[in-house]
Structure 1
């Protein structure tokens, strides 16, 4: 289950005019009550595991006297990934909120309709704005917070002022919702609902405010946020609510339990209630036709209330155009098909399964872009959730390739159609957590929030010398200066990490990632990250799988998407210890690493740390929650992935001299001096099992080098200590371009290192600059690529003519 709400109290210290509770209090029909701890424990036992548990309903959660104990009880069960609630933030001092954090509360959403003392009484009567504003600041220093704001004619003119005041506090996610009639009689629209002009003006303001206030992430969510335009709300299938009396209600608006024949979670398990009986009957009837109570719900994109505000007209059927597009592709007229689908995308009526079938045909022909367009049209036509039911029942989404799924979600994410994203993502495996996030860099986030951030006095520019030469001593690349990341050590509170994932997830819509937050970021930089399902600018959607959670009070992060690759581990991750070693981190703070790394990676980590520390392995099906995370950056610009046409600047991936010398010093402490009988000439080959960037005539070259007295080996077959000893003792090293060159860190000054490579050598400065810094002599011996996939396919296989290798050795005086 993705999310569940538990109403722990019906008491409240405010009287919001449009609230159901306020009306009942005025009619003297309301009795405030708290859920008991015994009943609460029973409900928790009967609920299935869920991504998010929200302790919120009609009342104010902080009025429950046992709230800290309830959070502790939830955390002891470990079946819920995140615990949070929405509050008016008028109760509790700093010690109270710190206790909630200590018990395991992840995040807080604060209701703020206005910070003006007059306006607020029209919206949330009883609010003291001075107390509210002070408490928002105080709570934001304990938790990542978000703010929900209900927009109505009572406060719409005051929203810019409220936003400006919130921006002074720091990093806040703001969600603006349309005013909703929550009174018992929902046959009439909200008495202060926004007009079409007001909605359009508000949407325009939000767009400009996001540019004006970079510390805020502001989203305005009309009903299309919750479902398909003109269609049906999807929330009843995604976020059930348990009332203070233990009854289940699938709809957040229809909270009267008699609609569902008082289905109790105290007496029956969730599955018994949800899959059979009154709840199941109600959901089936909802799929056949929404009840009349939905008509004036502002969260229902097909209801009259929503249509009155935004205007809705029945569009034409796009099905024939989509079919014609498929026929056009068969005729080889892709441009004509693109135009047809563009026209069809403006239509809203049609047969969703038929259009989906057409999308799958386009996908099977390799027309991924056209398939994505048709897939989105199919979703837009699925007003009665026919396609959703079919997909959910048969697993048909398995037909969708990962690339197509990413493209579809990226387009939806670009327009922030969360209802559609939720619908598509909601049918993926139950243990996958899907959430959009805003990308931020660690430094900018720390400066905005005041989190500890220590800048280290290292150069921000690395000079890479003109040493990229071939064996004929011909210059291949000019020397230049490359910008490198500012050295720092940061302490990030309350984070969540996943196996082989570079992101640092904060609780409220933020993901920290230095690479993707860098201005040099490019469209390919997340293409190969297994966590990312969609990206649009600074918004990213991730698919994170977790069957269990590990909780750690304090830890050092040494995890990432490519820690299992030796070259990346040695050049991208381990040099971070150069920064971490300067932070005086207590010796009992453990290091987090990805489970499954080869033994050589762990040996290298222990050598570079040069001190005993506990190592915690994060498993593939696990996430880890850390109260205090120590983080250091990549030393250089390491984008996450390149397409075969991406021309990478040769200044990328350059390790600063200080980091190179640090790594060399730490490794050499564990390498013995070369013995008289150690091999002096070594050739490090590349195994065919890697499946890419292979030297196609490797066997021919290996036979030739054996005649010249070379020891030929695959470095990964040896323990790390033996690998380093061989490199350190060699008088000459020849290696196929790959991770093994990282061991060149321990070569003796003056050693020639020949890299056999193909023509796309844009990342060869990774090794040549490192070799030059330690006094070695790097050379390239290049050959043509075999079947390159693009103009800069650095992973293409290649062939190095034997005469090139022979000429290089003759020039260096390496005789048999």
Structure 2
């Protein structure tokens, strides 16, 4: 046996439960605690199958906006950040746990920096022997962010990260726009993070005409739609998993919210720290909606749309068959969004006048609808994390109601955790749904 066999065994047990990146956090932490940072480097690369990461460096972390202000080749600020606002309660039918919250927005800007190294499926921007981090104030500390979620970070200290990379020169390109990161495989993050970044760049006058760097793990529907949303003559360049590039002039847009690497949330109030101001997100969604409508706008004949979730995924409606039946009787057409290209998904949403969707990426898709569209989101009673989406719906002039049902995992250890319980499966009461739809139809 080796000194870390038990850690390797735990890693293999954790990967199916939490996913590779999340499971790697505990493995890296335990490895560093047992061996020390430098001695943990080799075993971490071997166990996590990290290519071309033979070099380990302790690098200072610099906020992206600070680097852009002081050293950027270009900086266009759309709004300075710091504006506070209140998220009022949601319109909810059923049990709930939301209450008004105050949130503060982040700066919105487009920047360009010289000689930046990037990797596929990594958030790190390596620049002048520093790590650039799109962070403002103490937001990372407040959510106790775990930076070792990123495959390039072995260990994080206050103000410095131990970064694994290669001393060999990376392939060089002259200019590009950065639209990658460790959440790029997730469709929901494209709706709330990456497409809003693109919208920020377009609002700031980014001209296009250069490669847009996109992680190869991005959903196919997104990759196929991007050319229609970009300025003419702007190619999409895919970065393979952990593939390296050095970009002589890298354009970056700020994130409208701080999604974190992997927040360590352990109390109910911690969820509030992930809420983001809706007034900025709503504007950026409108930019993408307008671009999509120019690319594809045709009648669908579907006025009542049900954006269904494929069975077997997390946050499942366990009695989805009964829910489908109720919606069908009320004239809703069931659609699985992932079976359609993204532009067609957006077109379906923008042609509908009444939309029902389970909480998650399907509900997020509904926020591209036209003003005055009625939207019903099916979800569990844990509604507090949805306060910002409720605010975005108001900004987008959507009539949003949440219809909640009980979690089927209540009482389990998972359901008691303030973060993971939000991902629990739940049940929607068919008579309650039928009553709601009847009242919705008559406007009562």
Aligned with 1:523: secondary structure? coil
2:398 maps to which of 773, 776, 781: 776
The superposition leaves residues 783-806 of structure 1 with CA deviations (integer Å, 9 ceiling, x where unpaired) of: 222335113322222222223312
Q: Is the 8 A contact 2:378 2:402 kept in 1?
A: yes
Shift of 1:592: 1.0
How far is 1:781 from its partner? 1.0
Correspondent of 1:570 among 191, 212, 222 = 191
Contact 2:85 2:103 in 1 (8 A): yes
Given that 1:410 and 1:535 are in contact with CA atoms closer than 8 Å, whether structure 2 keeps it comes out as no
- Native 8 Å contact 2:305 2:356 kept in 1: yes
Q: What do the CA deviations read for 1:207-227 (whole angstroms, capped 9, x no partner)?
A: xxxxxxxxxxxxxxxxxxxxx
Kindly name which structure, 1 or 2, has the bigger radius of gyration based on alpha carbons.
1
Offset at 1:527? 6.0
Partner of 1:649: 272
- Alignment check: 8 A CA contact 2:199 2:285 kept: no
The gaps in structure 1 that reach 5 residues or longer are 1-352, 369-400
Q: CA deviation at 1:462?
A: 5.9
After TM superposition, the structure 1 = structure 2 runs for residues 581-600 of structure 1, keeping only pairs within 5 Å, are 581-600=202-221
CA separation in 2, counterparts of 1:619 and 1:792? 31
Q: CA deviation at 1:717?
A: 0.6
Q: Tell me, yes or no, if the aligned pair for 2:380 and 2:426 is still in contact at 8 Å.
A: yes
Question: Are positions 1:485 and 2:112 aligned together?
Answer: no
Q: 1:490 to 1:483 in 2, by over 3 A?
A: same
Q: Which has the higher strand share?
A: 2
Say which structure, 1 or 2, has more relative contact order (CA 8 Å, 6+ apart).
Answer: 2
| Equivalent pair of 1:454/1:489 in contact (CA under 8 Å) | yes
Distance 1:585 1:480, change over 3 A: same
| 1:294-693 pair list within 5 angstroms | 356=3, 360=5, 402-411=24-33, 419-422=38-41, 424-425=43-44, 431-433=51-53, 434-435=55-56, 436-449=58-71, 452-457=74-79, 460-461=82-83, 463=85, 465-466=87-88, 468-471=90-93, 477-508=98-129, 510-515=130-135, 518-521=137-140, 522-526=143-147, 528-543=149-164, 549-643=170-264, 645=266, 647-649=270-272, 652-655=275-278, 656=280, 657-672=282-297, 674=299, 678-689=301-312, 691-693=313-315
Aligned match for 2:344, one of 715, 722, 738: 722
Contact 1:409 1:533 in 2 (8 A): no
- From the superposition, tell whether residues 687 and 542 of structure 1 become closer, same or farther in structure 2 (CA, over 3 Å): farther
| Structure 2, unaligned runs of 5 or more | 14-22
| TM-aligned CA deviation for residue 560 of structure 1 | 1.1
Contact 1:554 1:627 (C-alpha < 8 Å) held by counterparts: yes
Task: Provide the residue aligned with 1:764 in structure 2.
Answer: 386
TM-score, normalised via structure 2 length:
0.82
TM-superposition CA deviations, 1:92-143 (whole Å, max 9, x none): xxxxxxxxxxxxxxxxxxxxxxxxxxxxxxxxxxxxxxxxxxxxxxxxxxxx
Partner of 1:696: 318
User: How many corresponding residue pairs?
Assistant: 418
Aligned mates of 2:284, 2:50 — CA distance in 1: 43
The CA distance in 2 between the partners of 1:772 and 1:465, in whole Å, is 10
Q: Note closer, same or farther for the CA distance 1:519–1:604 as it changes in structure 2 (3 Å cut).
A: farther
Q: Does 2:321 match 1:732?
A: no
Residues in 2 aligned to 1:426 and 1:753: alpha-carbon distance in whole angstroms:
47
Normalising to structure 1: TM-score of the pair?
0.47
Equivalent residues in 2 for 1:176-255 (5 A)?
A: none
RMSD, matched Cα: 3.4
Provide the secondary structure at the position in 1 that maps to 2:139.
coil
Q: Secondary structure at the match of 1:581?
A: helix
Q: Does the 8 A contact of 1:405 with 1:533 survive in 2?
A: no
Q: How far 1:512 sits from its partner (Å)?
A: 0.8
Query: 1:714: how far off?
Result: 0.8
Partner deviation per Cα, 1:419-456 (whole Å, 9 max, x = no partner): 43456557666834153433221122334546543322
- Would the alpha carbon gap of residues 661 and 459 (structure 1) be closer, same or farther in structure 2, given more than 3 Å must change? farther
Aligned-pair CA distance for 1:558: 0.7
CA-to-aligned-CA distance 1:547-566 (integer Å, 9 cap, x gap): 99432111110111112222
Shift of 1:544: 5.4
For residues 62-104 of structure 1, what are the alpha-carbon distances to aligned partners after superposition, in whole Å with 9 as ceiling and x for unaligned? xxxxxxxxxxxxxxxxxxxxxxxxxxxxxxxxxxxxxxxxxxx
